[in-house]
């Protein structure tokens, strides 16, 4: 009789622990979106990567001030989260040219980072990368934290990189 009671008690404890963990791991996506909407920045998209503690902003704005304001609002609405500000700057009347310029700059960022990885003998270490509107995102799995830190620091030296977001994981 005692065994079923112990099993039942353990099952209840596990259920309560799981529910508590979910409540503590709250999503900030809707909170950020609502804050941006209230600030009349309704055309922006918000995505969340809870595993990497990252909120990504995307969309188009016409001024750098608006882009920075959006990042500040997102940071206030999601404290402790990394805000990847991938908003495209497209001044009125120059939208097409701005998109082309941003695309070329992103290509140059990726090419420059690739060259930096090669020259620092990190090109075979599992670092994957992508640049969007000046945000260089690093992904993949590396052998140790020193390699991860070196890859991140190297990314920060690449011209035209406005932000480095690291999703690099250390192989365990």
Which pLDDT tens digit goes with each residue over 52-109? 999 999 999 999 999 999 999 999 999 999 999 999 999 999 999 999 999 999 999 9
- Pair (41, 76) in one structural domain: yes
Question: Could you tell me the pTM of the whole model?
Answer: 0.79
pLDDT band at 19 (very low <50, low <70, confident <90, very high): very low
Are both 76 and 108 inside the same structural domain?
A: no
Average pLDDT, the chain: 89
* 57 and 100 inside one domain: no
- The residue range of the domain holding 53 is 26-89
In a domain, 108, yes or no: yes
Q: Which pLDDT does position 171 carry in this prediction?
A: 87
Question: Looking at the domain assignment, is residue 18 inside a domain?
Answer: no
Give the C-alpha separation, 165 to 44, whole Å: 19
Domain shared by 56 and 106, yes or no: no
Q: How confident is the model at residue 26 (pLDDT cuts 50, 70, 90)?
A: confident
Long-range contacts of range 119-124, CB-CB < 8 Å, 24 or more positions apart?
120/150, 120/154, 122/147, 122/150, 122/151, 122/154
CATH of the domain at 96: 3.30.1340.30
């Amino acid at each position: 009789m005692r065994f079923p009671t112990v099993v039942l008690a353990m099952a209840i404890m596990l259920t309560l622990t799981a529910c508590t963990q979910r409540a503590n791991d709250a999503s900030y996506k809707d909170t950020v979106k609502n804050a941006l909407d209230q600030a009349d920045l309704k055309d922006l998209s918000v995505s969340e990567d809870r595993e990497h503690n990252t909120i990504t902003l995307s969309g188009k704005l016409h001024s750098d001030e608006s882009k920075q304001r959006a990042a500040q609002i997102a940071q206030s609405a999601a404290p402790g989260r990394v805000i990847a500000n991938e908003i495209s700057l497209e001044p009125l009347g120059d939208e097409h040219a701005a998109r082309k310029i941003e695309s070329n700059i992103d290509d140059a960022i990726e090419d420059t980072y690739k060259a930096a990885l090669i020259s620092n003998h990190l090109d075979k270490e599992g670092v994957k990368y992508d640049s969007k509107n000046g945000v260089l995102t690093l992904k993949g799995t590396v052998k140790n934290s020193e390699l991860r830190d070196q890859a991140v620091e190297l990314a920060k030296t690449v011209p035209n990189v406005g932000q480095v977001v690291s999703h690099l994981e250390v192989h365990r």
